[in-house]
């Protein structure tokens, strides 16, 4: 099971996640309480092993800005979390994760998007993603999406991630607020989440 820990803002938390077995570390470059500067993300990225893939989260950003940030930080994946067109995603010279809110897109629209992973999130809240709410995971199991391309997001934590995996059968899971205490990444919660996600139920 692939695990992505998103919204990283410190070297300590990112390093702990990497040692605990995280496959992806996410940096948010869009307006958010977890937004990080490219310079800060570059410092964190430099402290991580190459085996951990670095993901940059962007919302309706220009291609030029995305590429500049990706080069500065050393990103491995671009996560598009806005209204980016299929042509926009296809033109990026990086592997792409495209976020879709469950229930807001039909399956054919998701299937047609040129990306390496579909990040399926909860319906929209005040921000694009990172709202800490779940949705009916069985909808994903019944959807005609390649499970090897699905990363499940939205309201996950160490207590519900096994149930979510059993219900949705994704290739990976994504968490941000579910491993935080008072909006700060919690080392113990990161360990617990990764352990539960990677333990076969």
What is the C-alpha separation between 21 and 7, in angstroms, rounded? Answer: 17
Per CATH, the number for 2-198 is 3.20.20.70
Six-digit token pair at 16?
A: 């702990």
State both tokens at 52: 């951990």
Where does the pLDDT of residue 2 fall: very low under 50, low under 70, confident under 90, or very high at 90 and above? very high
Range 48-56 average pLDDT: 98
Q: What average pLDDT does the segment 34-62 reach?
A: 98
pLDDT for position 122: 84
Q: Output the DSSP codes for 112-137.
A: TS--SEEEEEPSP-SSSS-------T
Give me the residue spans of the domains in the chain.
2-198
What is the per-residue pLDDT across 88-110, written as a single tens digit (0 to 9) for each? 999 999 999 999 988 777 888 99
Residue 133 pLDDT > 60:
yes
Cα–Cα distance for residue pair 61/58, rounded to 1 Å: 6
Alpha-carbon Rg for the chain, nearest whole angstrom, is 15
Q: What is the pLDDT of residues 17-34, one digit of tens each?
A: 999 999 999 999 999 999
CA distances from 137 to 96, 154, 160, 162 (A): 23, 10, 11, 12
Percent of the residues in the chain that have a pLDDT greater than 90, as a whole number: 81
């Amino acid at each position: 099971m692939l695990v992505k820990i998103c919204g990283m803002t410190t070297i300590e938390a990112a390093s702990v996640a990497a040692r605990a077995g995280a496959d992806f570390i996410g940096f948010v470059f869009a307006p958010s309480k977890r937004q990080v500067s490219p310079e800060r993300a570059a410092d964190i990225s430099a402290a991580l092993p190459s085996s951990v893939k670095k993901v940059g989260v962007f919302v309706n950003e220009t291609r030029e800005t995305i590429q500049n940030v990706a080069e500065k930080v050393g990103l491995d994946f671009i996560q598009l979390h806005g209204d980016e067109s299929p042509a926009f995603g296809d033109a990026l010279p990086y592997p792409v994760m495209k976020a879709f809110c469950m229930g807001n897109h039909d399956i054919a629209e998701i299937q047609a998007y040129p990306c390496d992973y579909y990040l399926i999130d909860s319906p929209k809240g005040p921000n694009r993603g990172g709202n800490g709410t779940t949705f009916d995971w069985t909808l994903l199991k019944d959807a005609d999406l390649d499970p090897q391309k699905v990363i499940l997001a939205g309201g996950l934590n160490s207590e519900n991630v096994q149930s979510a995996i059993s219900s949705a059968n994704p290739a990976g899971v994504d968490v941000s607020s579910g491993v935080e205490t008072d909006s700060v990444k919690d080392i113990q919660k990161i360990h617990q989440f990764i352990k539960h996600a990677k333990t076969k139920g």
